[in-house]
């Protein structure tokens, strides 16, 4: 009987090791500690197009410049998205009564502070350091 339980124990340990190895390799690929076989784009182009050293250098420069431009475009988009979000909140606030505005200012101008990051309230849920400042409350109009 002890031999049978040793076999099951060995199978469980083996399966556990395989699962842990799979999980660790997946994480390594995801966080770029390991690279997919075949290398990057330049290496693939070099292999399939037989590039000259000058072509390889120029393509590398072009791809680096493009990567920088894409990153800048993403930052610009994020900034514009934040501005539009805050502009929309300002417009919503303008529709509210003074009493509603007090509640709105307390509960909705910084949804991440009251509901946590990732709340499902449909808001932007941006941390304050990434978003534009909240809109200034409009001054009451003289009657």
**Does the residue 16 lie in any domain?**
no
- Whether residue 74 is contained in a domain is answered as yes
Tally of domains in the chain: 1
- Provide mean pLDDT across the span 41-49: 88
Q: Residue 116: which pLDDT band, with cuts at 50, 70 and 90?
A: very low
Between 1 and 94, residue with greater pLDDT: 94
Orientation of helix 41-49 relative to helix 53-95, angle to 10°: 140
Q: Tell whether 22 is covered by a domain.
A: no
The model's pLDDT over 52-108, given as tens digits with 9 standing for 90+, comes to 999 999 998 999 999 999 999 999 999 999 999 889 989 999 999 999 999 998 888
Q: Indicate whether 2 belongs to any domain.
A: no
Residue 111, number of CB atoms within 10 A of its CB: 18
Within a domain: 60: yes
Residue 117 located in a structural domain? yes
Residue 125 included in any domain:
yes
User: What pTM did the predictor assign?
Assistant: 0.44
Residue 32 included in any domain = no
What domain range includes position 66? Answer: 50-143
């Amino acid at each position: 009987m002890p031999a049978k339980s040793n076999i099951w124990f060995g199978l469980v340990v083996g399966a556990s090791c395989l699962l842990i190895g799979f999980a660790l390799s997946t994480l390594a690929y995801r966080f770029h500690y390991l690279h997919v076989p075949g290398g990057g784009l330049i290496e693939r182009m070099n292999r399939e197009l037989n590039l000259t050293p000058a072509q390889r250098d120029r393509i590398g420069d072009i791809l680096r410049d493009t990567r920088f431009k894409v990153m800048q475009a993403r930052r610009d988009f994020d900034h514009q998205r934040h501005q539009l979000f805050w502009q929309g909140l300002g417009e919503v606030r303008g529709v509210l009564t003074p009493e509603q505005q007090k509640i709105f200012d307390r509960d909705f101008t910084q949804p991440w502070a009251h509901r946590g990051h990732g709340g499902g309230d449909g808001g932007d849920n941006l941390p304050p350091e990434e978003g534009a400042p909240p809109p200034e409350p409009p001054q009451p109009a003289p009657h």
